[in-house]
Amino acid sequence: MFDLDINEVSKKVGVPASTLRFYEEKGLIASVGRRGLRRLFDPDVLERLALIALGRSAGFTLEEIGRVFTREGLRQIDRKMLASKADELDGSIRKLTAMRDGLRHAAACPAPGHMQCPTFRRLLGLAVLRTADAKARARVRAKAS
Partner DNA sequence: GTGCCACCTCAAGTCCACTTGAGGTCAAGG
Partner DNA sequence: CCTTGACCTCAAGTGGACTTGAGGTGGCAC
Q: Which stretch binds its own copies (CB under 8 A): 3-11, 19-27, 30-38, 45-53?
A: 45-53
| DSSP H or E run through 69 | strand 69-70
Closest to 66 in 3D by CA, of 127, 24, 125: 24
Residue type, 56: R
Q: Which stretch binds its own copies (CB under 8 A): 2-10, 17-25, 29-37, 115-123?
A: 115-123
Among 2, 14, 25, 37, binds its own copies (CB under 8 A): 14
The DSSP 8-state label assigned to residue 60 in this structure reads -
* Alpha-carbon distances, residue 78 vs 38, 68, 73, 75, 81 (angstroms): 37, 8, 13, 7, 5
Q: Is 11 in the site for its own copies (CB under 8 A)?
A: no
Closest to 73 in 3D by CA, of 54, 58, 56: 54
Q: Which stretch binds its own copies (CB under 8 A): 2-10, 17-25, 33-41, 81-89?
A: 81-89
Q: Which residues bind its own copies (CB under 8 A)?
A: 13-15, 47, 49-51, 53-54, 56-59, 61, 71-74, 76, 79-80, 82-86, 88-93, 95-97, 99-100, 102-104, 106-108, 112-115, 117, 120, 123-124, 126-128, 130-132, 134-145
